[in-house]
Amino acid sequence: MSWTDIFTLHNLTSLIDIVVVWFIIYTLILMVRGTKAVQLLRGIVIIALIKIVSVYVGLTTVSWIMDQVITWGVIAMVIIFQPEIRRGLEHLGRGSLFVKSKKENEAARKLITALDRAIQYMSKRRIGALITIQMNTGLEEYIETGIDVDADVSGELLINIFIPNTPLHDGAVIIKDNRVAVAAAYLPLSQSNLIPKELGTRHRAAVGISELTDALTIVISEETGEVSITQNNELLRGMTQDDYLKYLENQLITDTEQPDHRNLINTVANFIDSHFKGGR
């Protein structure tokens, strides 16, 4: 058996088919992990098992009821899994196909410098803070819950907002287009059972917004001064200054010389040409 027999177009198509299905299933598992969807999925499995057993045993009425449940279950799933479906569709729309300009990168660097100044000050003094940065997904419905600020981001401004017993210290600061849009905004609380019980409302709000959007949220614990970051339903705890600076730079600053996805497409095309056209 030669390599040309193995690297056939049919085999390559089958491999891509398997990889795509695996990726979809893996993504779905990550999306529902730690959410109420896990319990709902268990219920779906139980319904399917009841349907199979009722068919083999001959329980006609039970089988008919399960048919109705399954038939109308699609509509019910759209309603019940609305947050998960929304997050999944937003993930599909989040691509780095376009490279940021140098001007945008300079603004992002200034933002990171201001955030670093505020984080270091508040973390050392154990001042609780919740700062959300809008990425690709709009946060208008959460911005509407806050108090308008519309100011340039500075370390001093962020520190003053979160000083205890001041009018704006409760809630979240939302940064949009490298400006402080609002303060004292309300974020959705996560119901995930994966969040450690010692974490409070700020962390649940940070995880909650990361479940529904691609926003990047910085949390400072008022009990320990610990710095955490949430994004894409992931909670990163105990971040050092080097850790969060590197993370912020990776998320907010794009290398203008970084090759785009067309290079990957060209690589795949060259691979196919060399193995299939050349082997004929």
Question: Where exactly are the structural domains of the chain?
Answer: 3-93, 102-252
pLDDT one-digit tens code per residue, 190-228: 988 888 888 999 999 999 999 888 899 999 999 999 999
How far apart are alpha carbons 217 and 204 in whole angstroms? 11
pLDDT digits (tens, 9 = 90+) for 49-74: 888 888 888 888 888 888 888 788 77
Please state at what angle helix 9-32 crosses helix 82-93, rounded to 10 degrees.
130
* Residue-level pLDDT at 33: 57
What pLDDT does 262 receive? 45
* CATH 3.30.9.10 for the 102-252 domain, yes or no: no
Cβ–Cβ under 8 Å, residues 181 and 149? yes
User: For the residues of 90-130, what is the DSSP string, one character each?
Assistant: HHHH----SPPPHHHHHHHHHHHHHHHHHHHHHHHTT--EE
Predicted TM-score (pTM) of this structure: 0.61
Query: What does the pLDDT read at residue 261?
Result: 45
Distance, first Cα to last Cα, the chain: 16
Instruction: Kindly provide the residue ranges of all beta strands, DSSP E only, lying in the chain, ordered along the sequence.
Output: 129-133, 147-152, 172-176, 179-185, 216-220, 227-231, 234-236
pLDDT beneath 50, residues of the chain:
95-98, 257-265, 268-269, 271-272, 275-280
SS3 220: strand
Q: Look at residue 225 and give its three-state secondary structure.
A: coil
Report pLDDT for 245: 95
Of 159, 171, 105, 170, whose CA–CA distance to 132 is shortest?
171
pLDDT of the residue at 236: 94
